[in-house]
Amino acid sequence: MINLVWLKRDIRVSDHRPLYEAANNGKPTLILYVIEPDYWQLEDTSKRQFQFIKESLLSLSKQLQCIGASLTVRKGDVVEILEKVHLHAAISNLYCHQETGNPWTYERDKRVIAWCKSKQVNYQEYQQQAVFRGHVNRDKWHHVAEKWLQAAVFPTPTHIHTLLQHHNGLKLLDVYPADDNNEARTPQQGGLEAANKTRDSFFHHRINEYLYGISSPVKSTTSSSRLSPYLAYGVLSLRQVLQQAQALPVTSKRNKSGFLSRLYWHSHFVQKLESEPRYAEQAVHNSLIDMRANEFNESCYLRWSSGDTGVPFIDACMRMLIQTGWINFRMRAMLMAYSSYHLWLDWQKPAARLATLFVDYEPGIHYPQVQMQSGTTGINPFRIYNPVTQGLKYDPDGHFIRRYIPELDHVPDNYLHTPWLYAGLKDDLYAPPEKHPDDAAKIAREKISSFYKQHLDKGETGRVISTHASRKRATRRRNKSNTMSKNQLKLF
């Protein structure tokens, strides 16, 4: 009888409860990662994410060797692979982490649980974020989340009695099982070494510029922590990073607490998708499901998705994302809002496109953010950014635009943010936008107001708020002197 540790978005040894439990019960243990071809065919997955996972698994394999264990990789349907393993060596315990993923992984997990039940395999699933299954009372969420995040981390096992396989299957990682070819030219590297380097440089130096650079797509590349892909695939444990950050003796308290707030937001957002999985498929507010239905303009979508809308700051942001696999929060919000308001595109297809471009794709953050930026939650419906004003503010000298849009080389600086006003624009090189951004924003405002007036059910808005919104005021009254809770006050 063996243990099986099934790895998903938890590619690490430290603060890893499934590995810890397996090591403690002394049975031979198979540590398994399954490349699931059907998953990699989905609209929201891509080769750049696979590449990051591959690098992280190769790094994990070395870490496991240091504690006498080994990683096994297999390719196929998880249930079929479990079945094969079980025939070869009976599985007594299957340990894994709870995953809040997309609808496909949710269904896959249900099949695994059903298989375990049918084979009388003891299925043990543990939390790896402050995200709770079943009914969650949002009034109490921050208390339980805080308790979980402050609990002691699980120590790295010093030895795991490993089950040796004929072949470890690491070579399978050389072949990406889909054909999207969506790679980033200069992505962040996966693996623990890169994760530690990124974290240490942030904790020891870059954190002091954190809030100063946070909104700029240029400054934030170094001032933001850049930990997102390591947290998304569990190369680092969120709880461990949070506790390490709390212990930092940094000079600027504002920067430190700004960063800590965002680590809390992580679980706050993932909890939304966990509590209401349809966030990934349908407008979370029932009245707003059809707000943009039957109006999808494919050519606008294609121009947006390749960074060719004709609005330079939008296009430069999109092209940076295509090239690097990362962009800062504000620009993610602006890109999403531009597609939803100015281009009036229903959010699903743009959301999938962005997901495939993010190396750090985390469904639990992504879909709730997408819906918030698209006005489909029924709360703060007008998240409309003026892309020209944003450009002038965050790229006043135009270096960022020039870097990503060489077709604008012939356009003088004073027209760089609005090239459609320049009489000499070579529009065969860089076509102007289909609608002037101001006109498009005005039309969107009118459409939203009119749709809200006609269709918005306020009772449903109340339901969305009570299920998903943060408890800002209540928390402030109850915890005036509690610094940890102050970090949660900024949740939205």
Ligand X SMILES: Cc1cc2nc3c(=O)[nH]c(=O)nc-3n(C[C@H](O)[C@H](O)[C@H](O)COP(=O)(O)OP(=O)(O)OC[C@H]3O[C@@H](n4cnc5c(N)ncnc54)[C@H](O)[C@@H]3O)c2cc1C
Which residues sit in the known binding site for FAD?
210, 224-228, 259
Mapped onto helix, strand or coil, the DSSP state of residue 401 is helix
C-beta of 6 vs 367, nearer to ligand X: 367
Task: Select from 104, 344, 361, 385 the one that contacts ligand X (CB under 6 A).
Answer: 361
Provide the annotated binding site. Answer: 210, 224-228, 259
C-beta of 124 vs 282, nearer to ligand X: 282
Task: Select from 123, 176, 269, 279 the one that contacts ligand X (CB under 6 A).
Answer: 269
Binding mask 230-249 for ligand X (x = CB under 6 A): -xx-----------------
22 binds ligand X (CB under 6 A): no
User: Which residues, 334 to 353, sit near ligand X by CB under 6 A?
Assistant: 336
CB of 220 to ligand X, least distance (A): 7
227 binds ligand X (CB under 6 A): yes
Task: Select from 233, 304, 358, 430 the one that contacts ligand X (CB under 6 A).
Answer: 358
CB of 100 to ligand X, least distance (A): 12
Residues in contact with 175: Cβ distance below 8 Å, sequence separation at least 6, in sequence order: none
Q: Residue 89 to residues 28, 81, 122, 318: CA-CA distances in angstroms?
A: 10, 12, 15, 49
C-beta of 46 vs 165, nearer to ligand X: 46
C-beta of 358 vs 430, nearer to ligand X: 358
Q: Which of 69-107 are b and which e, b meaning 16 or more Cβ less than 10 Å from the residue's Cβ?
A: bbbbbbeeebeebbeebbeeeebebbbbbbbbbbebbbe
142 binds ligand X (CB under 6 A): no
Length of the chain: 492
Task: Select from 5, 42, 235, 365 the one that contacts ligand X (CB under 6 A).
Answer: 365
Q: Cα separation of 277 and 280, whole Å?
A: 6
Binding segment for ligand X (CB under 6 A), chosen from 129-137, 366-374, 412-420, 467-475, is 366-374
Q: Indicate the burial class of 383 (C-beta count within 10 angstroms; 0-12, 13-18, 19 or more).
A: middle
Task: Select from 106, 126, 301, 329 the one that contacts ligand X (CB under 6 A).
Answer: 329
Count of other CB atoms within 10 angstroms of residue 189: 16
308 beta partners: none
C-beta of 350 vs 419, nearer to ligand X: 350
Q: Which helix (H) or strand (E) holds 7?
A: strand 2-7
C-beta of 333 vs 489, nearer to ligand X: 333
Q: Which helix (H) or strand (E) holds 5?
A: strand 2-7
362 binds ligand X (CB under 6 A): yes
360 binds ligand X (CB under 6 A): yes
DSSP tag of 162: B
Q: Are 97 and 9 spatial neighbours (Cβ–Cβ below 8 Å)?
A: yes
Residues in contact with 155: Cβ distance below 8 Å, sequence separation at least 6, in sequence order: 14, 20
Residues in contact with 3: Cβ distance below 8 Å, sequence separation at least 6, in sequence order: 22, 25, 27, 28, 29, 30, 91, 92, 93, 94, 95
Contacts with ligand X by CB under 6 A: the residue count is: 27
369 binds ligand X (CB under 6 A): yes
Query: Nearest-CA neighbor of 259 among 193, 320, 199, 187?
Result: 199
Task: Select from 70, 373, 376, 470 the one that contacts ligand X (CB under 6 A).
Answer: 373
266 binds ligand X (CB under 6 A): yes
Binding segment for ligand X (CB under 6 A), chosen from 317-325, 369-377, 392-400, 444-452, is 369-377
Q: Are 86 and 121 spatial neighbours (Cβ–Cβ below 8 Å)?
A: yes
384 binds ligand X (CB under 6 A): no
C-beta of 325 vs 419, nearer to ligand X: 325
Count of other CB atoms within 10 angstroms of residue 63: 18
CB of 163 to ligand X, least distance (A): 34
CB of 17 to ligand X, least distance (A): 20
Task: Select from 61, 328, 340, 488 the one that contacts ligand X (CB under 6 A).
Answer: 328
357 binds ligand X (CB under 6 A): no
Binding segment for ligand X (CB under 6 A), chosen from 10-18, 295-303, 324-332, 475-483, is 324-332
Residue bearing tokens 């020209």: 388
3-state secondary structure string across 58-127: HHHHHHHHHCCCCEEEEECCHHHHHHHHHHHCCEEEEEEECCCCCHHHHHHHHHHHHHHHHCCCEEEEEC
CB of 117 to ligand X, least distance (A): 32
Question: Residues interacting with ligand X, by CB under 6 A?
Answer: 224-228, 231-232, 259, 262-263, 265-266, 269, 328-329, 332-333, 336, 358, 360-362, 365-366, 369-370, 373
